[in-house]
Structure 1
Amino acid sequence: MFITDPTIVTLEKFTLPISEVPFPGISVCNINRISRKAAYSMALDYASRSGSKSSLNVTAIFENMKHLGKLYDFSFSEDEEENLMEFQKYLEEYDPHQPEDALKGNFNVLEKMRLLQLSGNCLEGLSDCKWGGEKRSCSDLFIPELTMDGFCCIFNYFDRNHPQISKIMREHFNKTLHSSRFGRDFGLTFRINVNLSDYYYSALATMGSKILFSSADDFPDTTSGSLIEKLVPIGVEANLELTAQSIYTVQEARKYSIEKRNCIFKHEVRTIFGDYSQSDCIMDCKIRSVAALCECIAFMHVKAAPTDLGYQCTLADLACLSKYAAKWRQIYPRDYDQEGLEREKQDALNCQKCYPECDTSRYFVNSEQGIITGTDLNYSIVNIFFETPYVEQHKQDVVYYWFDMISMFGGSAAL
Structure 2
Amino acid sequence: MHIRQLRKVKRHRQLAGAWQQYQNSNCETAWMHLLSRYTSGSHIHGFYQLFWPTMRRRMRLLWTLALLCALIVLIFITYLLAERHQRKLFQTVIADSRWPIRNIAFPVIFVCNKNRLNWSRLPEIGERYNITESQQPLLERVLTAYDALSISHLDVFEALQDQPLETLNHLNFTQIVSEMAWRCEELISECRWQTQSRNCCELFRPRRQQQGVCLAFHELEERSSAETGSGTGIVVRLLLNEALHAPGNREPKGFVLDVVEPGVWSELPISLVPDADTNVGIRAVYHFYDEATYGLPSVQRQCLLDYEQKSDHFQTLLGFKYMLENCLAECQQLYMLRYCNCTLDLFFPPSNHVGCKLKDLPCLAAHNHLLKNFEHHEERSYVAQNESGLLCDCLHNCKSLTLLTDVHKAARRRHLENARAKGSAHGSNRSILLNVYYTKNVILVYRTSLIYSWLDLIDSLKMRYV
TM-score (norm 2): 0.70
Which of 1 and 2 has higher RCO (CA within 8 Å, sep 6+)?
1
Change (3 A) 1:80 1:132: closer
Aligned to 2:243: 197
1:181 to 222, 227, 251: 227
SS class of match (2:263): coil
* C-alpha distance in 1 between matches for 2:276 and 2:404: 21
* C-alpha distance in 2 between matches for 1:382 and 1:272: 30
Change (3 A) 1:61 1:357: closer
Change (3 A) 1:212 1:6: same
Aligned to 1:32: 115
Moved over 6 A (4+): 201-204, 341-346
* C-alpha distance in 1 between matches for 2:177 and 2:131: 20
2:357 to 305, 314, 331: 314
Offset at residue 408 of structure 1 (A): 3.0
Aligned to 2:447: 395
Which protein has the larger Cα radius of gyration, Structure 1 or Structure 2?
Answer: 2
Q: For residues 109-167 of structure 1, what are the alpha-carbon distances to aligned partners after superposition, in whole Å with 9 as ceiling and x for unaligned?
A: 323xx10122232442111111122221111211100000101001122xxxxxxx4xx
* C-alpha distance in 2 between matches for 1:184 and 1:79: 44
Change (3 A) 1:326 1:412: farther
* C-alpha distance in 1 between matches for 2:356 and 2:247: 19
Checking the alignment, whether the CA contact within 8 Å between 1:208 and 1:234 is kept in structure 2 is yes
Change (3 A) 1:379 1:79: closer
What pairs with 1:282-301 in structure 2 (closer than 5 Å)? Answer: 282-301=328-347
1:65 counterpart = 2:143: yes
* C-alpha distance in 2 between matches for 1:28 and 1:234: 13
Checking the alignment, whether the CA contact within 8 Å between 1:24 and 1:156 is kept in structure 2 is yes
Offset at residue 242 of structure 1 (A): 0.6
Aligned to 1:172: none
SS class of match (2:306): coil
What pairs with 1:33-48 in structure 2 (closer than 5 Å)? Answer: 33-46=116-129
Aligned to 2:134: 55
Aligned to 1:255: 295
Higher percent of residues as helix: 2
Change (3 A) 1:231 1:266: same
Q: For residues 322-374 of structure 1, what are the alpha-carbon distances to aligned partners after superposition, in whole Å with 9 as ceiling and x for unaligned?
A: 2222222222214x3x885899798221112x111111110111111223313
Checking the alignment, whether the CA contact within 8 Å between 1:33 and 1:201 is kept in structure 2 is no
| Cα RMSD (Å) | 2.9
Offset at residue 317 of structure 1 (A): 1.4
1:272 counterpart = 2:317: yes
Aligned to 2:276: 236
* C-alpha distance in 1 between matches for 2:346 and 2:439: 33
* C-alpha distance in 2 between matches for 1:204 and 1:50: 25
Checking the alignment, whether the CA contact within 8 Å between 1:18 and 1:390 is kept in structure 2 is yes
Checking the alignment, whether the CA contact within 8 Å between 1:34 and 1:202 is kept in structure 2 is no
Change (3 A) 1:65 1:210: closer
* Stretch moving more, 124-133 or 262-271: 262-271
Aligned to 1:348: 389
Change (3 A) 1:351 1:195: same
Change (3 A) 1:301 1:32: closer
SS class of match (1:26): strand
Aligned to 1:381: 433
Letter in 2 for 1:34: L
* C-alpha distance in 2 between matches for 1:245 and 1:404: 29
1:408 counterpart = 2:460: yes
* C-alpha distance in 2 between matches for 1:78 and 1:20: 47
Change (3 A) 1:43 1:109: closer
What pairs with 1:62-101 in structure 2 (closer than 5 Å)? Answer: 62-63=140-141, 65-69=143-147, 72=150, 73-75=153-155, 80-83=160-163, 86=164, 88-92=165-169
Letter in 2 for 1:262: Q
Checking the alignment, whether the CA contact within 8 Å between 2:98 and 2:443 is kept in structure 1 is yes
Change (3 A) 1:123 1:151: farther
Offset at residue 319 of structure 1 (A): 2.5
Change (3 A) 1:66 1:43: farther
Aligned to 1:99: none
1:124 counterpart = 2:186: yes
Change (3 A) 1:211 1:64: closer
Change (3 A) 1:204 1:359: farther
Checking the alignment, whether the CA contact within 8 Å between 1:16 and 1:393 is kept in structure 2 is yes
SS class of match (2:227): coil
Checking the alignment, whether the CA contact within 8 Å between 1:249 and 1:397 is kept in structure 2 is yes
* C-alpha distance in 2 between matches for 1:69 and 1:254: 46
SS class of match (1:255): coil
Offset at residue 215 of structure 1 (A): 1.7
* C-alpha distance in 1 between matches for 2:205 and 2:224: 18
Structure 2 residues not aligned, in runs of 5+: 1-83, 420-425
Q: Percentage identity across aligned positions?
A: 17
1:133 counterpart = 2:173: no
Structure 1 residues not aligned, in runs of 5+: 94-106, 158-164, 170-175, 221-226
Higher percent of residues as strand: 1
Change (3 A) 1:387 1:197: same
SS class of match (1:186): coil
Checking the alignment, whether the CA contact within 8 Å between 2:85 and 2:454 is kept in structure 1 is no
1:327 to 353, 358, 370: 370
